Structure 1
């Protein structure tokens, strides 16, 4: 899996790169991203039906509570897609509401394919006129980092970003991510190298790159064992596992070390379980943001 930097394309002059916008949002609101994960159990806990109507109420209430108060919000596409076209329509409305609130939207779709198919995904989520356009999306690089080129080009051309799966905390991930290539380097390290190559120009300019990585906050010693130079990657590090999954200040410090300043801590249930009221969601978000700030920017 050779790292292949995507051609930068022709960036829009009126939109700062995603990395710059995310860095500003993290400075203004703290290094916290809150997910919108409308599990059936969460809808029920909020007294809402597991229907498109319940989904809409849940999602727009989260936007009302958190818009303008966090660096980013991350809708999980799967929980919208399970309701079919009506659910996807709610996702479109949620993304539009986040834009209206001035809050960065990271759409968690984990797309990964090749050629024209990846180009289609890029058009669906990264084109200016796309109904599902987000500020950034998640991508899977396990058809080869170079397969992501259409999405990387589209993101660069519209001032958007991507977060590429690198090292996840699910037990099944290690079989692929920890495997060694013919060169002896871990597959996850190849992904990090690909991101670093894509972010080279931004890093040379002293800016946060727009090609981020997904690195689980609970991966423990794997970052060091696999020789992942996360600081050299030059982009933001989206860190799921904060809060409900058990990662706190010690885990974040141990996993990310000198790259902590680039980490965007991601939590979902840790904040969402405080609902359904806007007041309680904001209070839980405030606590999570303070904890992330203390752990990542001491």
Structure 2
């Protein structure tokens, strides 16, 4: 982010985008779009964020293309956030961590989006892998989809200890990051996913983003309506931690 600015470009090859680019909705179309995006922006933006589902829908051929896109981004010196939103427990979570965060895996990225809604502690295998390998996590916290509020805004605890689920997730991320930051790093390895279009949800849920001391992935910039004003309103004092993510806003114009 210091070298290339705070922009993350999503690589979301859904059928509509492939059609806009004049490409077929198959593995060959995925490959053409993904590699052309990396060629065009590699080394010019902070990160790219491939959405794994759009590759997985094409089976093994699509996953093979995803591996190619990851390799091309690595060769270009561009960080990769794997948008897979994985969440599970025990050995299954450890397997996800091995797939996306361990050296030698063809699917290894620099960071992985994960879901904490089986309990933040269920993410421990991924946290351990991130700490061991120098990679990162982006934990879902306050997402831009309206359905997310049902869980993320819900209150937990009793008495003076009542807090929203989102505030709890942020507090747990801050706990993991604290020793890393105290050891001298500017930011810890555990970031949050916080939508750029959530308006005053941080205040309403009591979520302290600045205290997380980790990067904040902010989808919703561009086509979904968020710009500089919305980013400033949502993130306030934490705006220096923001990695603003846009996919359609950058790619819909075509190659």
- Normalised by the shorter chain, which TM-score bucket? over 0.9
Instruction: Give the TM-score taking structure 2 as reference length.
Output: 0.97
* Corresponding position of 1:295: none
* Corresponding position of 2:178: 200
Match of residue 251, structure 1, among 230, 233, 236: 230
Higher relative contact order, structure no. (Cα contacts within 8 Å, ≥ 6 residues apart): 1
* Corresponding position of 1:184: 162
In the TM superposition, residue 92 of structure 1 has moved relative to its aligned partner by 0.4
In the TM superposition, residue 139 of structure 1 has moved relative to its aligned partner by 0.2
Matched, 1:238 2:238: no
Q: Deviations over 1:51-70 (max 9, x none)?
A: 10011000000000010000
Following superposition of structure 1 onto structure 2, how do residues 1-298 of structure 1 map, counting pairs within 5 Å? 26-182=1-157, 183-204=161-182, 205=184, 207-276=186-255
Query: Structure 1 or 2: larger strand share?
Result: 2
Give the 4+ runs in structure 1 shifted more than 4 A.
none
SS of structure 2 residue aligned to 1:247: coil
How many corresponding residue pairs? Answer: 251
Give 5+ residue unaligned stretches, structure 2: none
SS of structure 2 residue aligned to 1:109: strand
Instruction: Give the TM-score taking structure 1 as reference length.
Output: 0.83
* Corresponding position of 1:17: none
Give 5+ residue unaligned stretches, structure 1: 1-25, 277-298
* Corresponding position of 1:8: none
In the TM superposition, residue 203 of structure 1 has moved relative to its aligned partner by 2.3
CA RMSD of aligned residues (A): 0.7
